[in-house]
Amino acid sequence: MTAFLFGILSSLVASAIVLVLGLLRGSHPVGWLVSASSRLTGTGIGRVYRHQSSAEQDIARDLGRARWIKVLAGRGNVLTRDVFSPLWSGELSLDSVQVLLPDPRNQGDSWLDRRSRDIQLFDAGFTPDLLRNQVRMNMDYLAHVARTQSNFELRNFNLPSTCRVIATDRAAYLTFYSRSAHGRNSPCLYVRAPGLLYSIALQQFDSAWTASPPSHPAPQS
């Protein structure tokens, strides 16, 4: 038991060290150090991006090599940008595409409401219903592209969401949400398969997927 706990602790410490180094040096930390730490701890960390938005070019490249894709997002704006356009246009053919977005139909103290309150603290232009409406628009977009995608499925969740996951059969991109910054300005990790963090990413997605019913197009407000 002691050895097991020490292994987990060492993995977390090594991950924190690599993350800090990546933040200090920008989106491309020292390659040999990241690789060595990844092999030593089994975390699978390949790259660290200071901001999630700087990873989009690499995400687009990896999507072109994937057999399947899983996305868990707090808003889903990336799904409507150039990163995913080759998939929706039919240029890419995959075995399956699974997407999880927050449920904009849940009113009251939902995850969307809690996240909206956090964002309003540092973004004066963020109104209470803005996040909900953005998710609703992204769902409408996906409802249209799904008509030509037989391998696509969208589900909605109302669960605590602390990170964004974009995973393929080869790797995953993890963005850890901050209560004081938009997701696009938060740090992002690239983790390879197999590896501890890759397994955690898939477990996070699969748990939310199992607990979420199939989605239907959200009604317009």
* Tens-place pLDDT, residues 188-206: 999 999 899 999 999 989 9
Element (DSSP H or E) covering residue 26: none
Average pLDDT, the chain: 80
Please state the separation of Cα 3 from the chain's center in Å: 31
**In the structure, what pLDDT confidence band is assigned to residue 139 with cuts at 50, 70 and 90?**
very high
Tell me whether residue 142 is in a domain. yes
* pLDDT of residue 107 exceeding 50: yes
**In the structure, what pLDDT confidence band is assigned to residue 65 with cuts at 50, 70 and 90?**
very high
Q: Tokens for 95, please give them.
A: 């075995």
Tell me whether residue 62 is in a domain. yes
Tell me whether residue 144 is in a domain. yes
Query: What is the rounded average pLDDT of the residues 49-67?
Result: 93
Q: What is the CATH number of the domain that holds 86?
A: 3.30.870.10
> How many domains is the chain partitioned into structurally?
1
**In the structure, what pLDDT confidence band is assigned to residue 176 with cuts at 50, 70 and 90?**
confident
pLDDT at 116: 85
pLDDT at 221: 42
Tell me whether residue 197 is in a domain. yes
* pLDDT of residue 166 exceeding 90: yes
* pLDDT of residue 18 exceeding 60: no
Tell me whether residue 171 is in a domain. yes
- Within a 10 A sphere around the Cβ of 144, how many other Cβ atoms? 11
Listed residue (39, 71, 63, 33) closest to 195, CA to CA? 39
Tell me whether residue 35 is in a domain. no
Residue that is written with structure tokens 């993350």 in the block: 19
Domain coverage including residue 91: 44-210
Tell me whether residue 116 is in a domain. yes
pLDDT at 193: 92
Q: In what order do the strands lie in the sheet with 45-49?
A: 45-49, 188-192, 171-176, 163-168, 68-72, 96-102, 152-157
Query: What is the rounded average pLDDT of the residues 145-168?
Result: 87
Query: What is the rounded average pLDDT of the residues 35-51?
Result: 70
Tell me whether residue 64 is in a domain. yes
pLDDT at 35: 54
